[in-house]
Amino acid sequence: MRVTHLGFGKMAQAVIPHVVKAGHTVTVWNRSLVSAEKFAGLEVTVARTAAEAVAGCDIVFTLLLNDEALTEVLYDGGVLDAIPAGAVHVSVSTISVKLAKRIAVEHARRGQRYVGAPVYGRPNVAAEGKLWTVVGGTADAVESVRPLLECYCRGMSVIGEEPWKAHMVKLMGNFMVVTMMAGLSEAMTAAELMGISRSSVVETINSGIFRSPVYEAYGSMMLNPPKEASAKIDLGEKDLRLFRDAAATIGMKAHLAELMRDNFAEGIRSGLQEEDLAAGYYKQARSRYLREAGVEA
């Protein structure tokens, strides 16, 4: 198929090689200029504009940072009008439910199809082809893009025919990851104050209770911060805000999410917004707990 990828961040750099390897014709566009070495070994065409990139394509993937970036590309970049009728737009980005609903209406009006397909997993997981995709869209649209999703995923959950529901489930999952990080932060700091090995606590809790690769991976990142963040504190704050906003539309007050909001706000005020999500959150929480216990960090 003729596939276009709009956005060439870390996740896209991990996903695109799988699509190329599967034999599809790939065109890439990025808002900022991408150095040539990023495309080393990849048989892709680099477009000058987003609208040019999607002209004549079968499938359009968007892997952009947030609502603002996606809105700018689709509307200001002329992408909505340039996508051929019948083509499918697949949004891999973590975006708001509000924007997902708006995009679906715009595509339907133009005779285009829209699939929400956000993923669970960091770029290193994508490079291994082991992401998990949450999918929402009409049956025909989902089936048309399934071979592409299977290029870089170990599995997928089809939530329903409305794309926005996939984006909501993605936000729910991210919210659960944050609550996990909060629980680990509190337990690990209590262990430290009591002279118990933090790594032993993480290993014991995961082995004895959860048996989760997510607990294992995040516990490791919290104890051993990565040199380069693949997901940052400010992105975690954004996803949590989108979850709260979506809950508010149905009259639900997400109490636990409100508590997490305050923790993220404190971390950002402390200048940690560029740090790794897991490591930065733990650093901020540990500092607060130690301070409240009268212990110098």
Q: Please tell me the distance from the alpha carbon of residue 60 to that of residue 170, in angstroms, as a whole number.
A: 20
* pLDDT score of 39 more than 80: no
Alpha helices, DSSP H, located in 206-276:
213-223, 233-248, 255-269
Work out the pLDDT band at 238, boundaries 50, 70, 90.
very high
188 backbone dihedrals φ, ψ, rounded to 5°: -65, -35
pLDDT for 86 equals 96
114 backbone dihedrals φ, ψ, rounded to 5°: -135, 130
Let me know: does 91 contact 66? Beta carbons within 8 Å: no
Beta-carbon count within 10 A of 123 CB: 17
Low-confidence winner among 36-45, 75-84, 177-186, 270-279 (lowest mean pLDDT)? 36-45
Which of 162, 128, 170 shows the shortest CA–CA distance to 15? 128
Strand duo 119-120 + 153-160: pairing:
unpaired
| Share of residues in the chain with pLDDT > 70 (%) | 99
| Share of residues in the chain with pLDDT > 90 (%) | 80
The residue ranking higher by pLDDT, 4 or 265, is: 4
Let me know: does 158 contact 142? Beta carbons within 8 Å: yes
Beta-carbon count within 10 A of 45 CB: 12
Beta-ladder partners of 25: 2
* pLDDT score of 36 more than 60: no
Please work out, in degrees rounded to the nearest 5, the angle formed at the alpha carbon of residue 143 by the alpha carbons of 11 and 97: 55
Q: Please tell me the distance from the alpha carbon of residue 81 to that of residue 83, in angstroms, as a whole number.
A: 6
Q: At what angle do helices 255-269 and 233-248 cross, to 10 degrees?
A: 150
Q: Please tell me the distance from the alpha carbon of residue 117 to that of residue 134, in angstroms, as a whole number.
A: 5
pLDDT for 274 equals 87
Instruction: Calculate Rg over the CA atoms of the chain.
Output: 20
Average pLDDT over residues 158-173: 97
Work out the pLDDT band at 259, boundaries 50, 70, 90.
confident
pLDDT for 35 equals 63
Average pLDDT over residues 53-59: 96
Let me know: does 38 contact 13? Beta carbons within 8 Å: yes
Low-confidence winner among 55-59, 228-232, 281-285 (lowest mean pLDDT)? 228-232
* pLDDT score of 42 more than 60: yes
Tokens standing for 65?
């940072």
Helix H or strand E encompassing 182:
helix 163-193
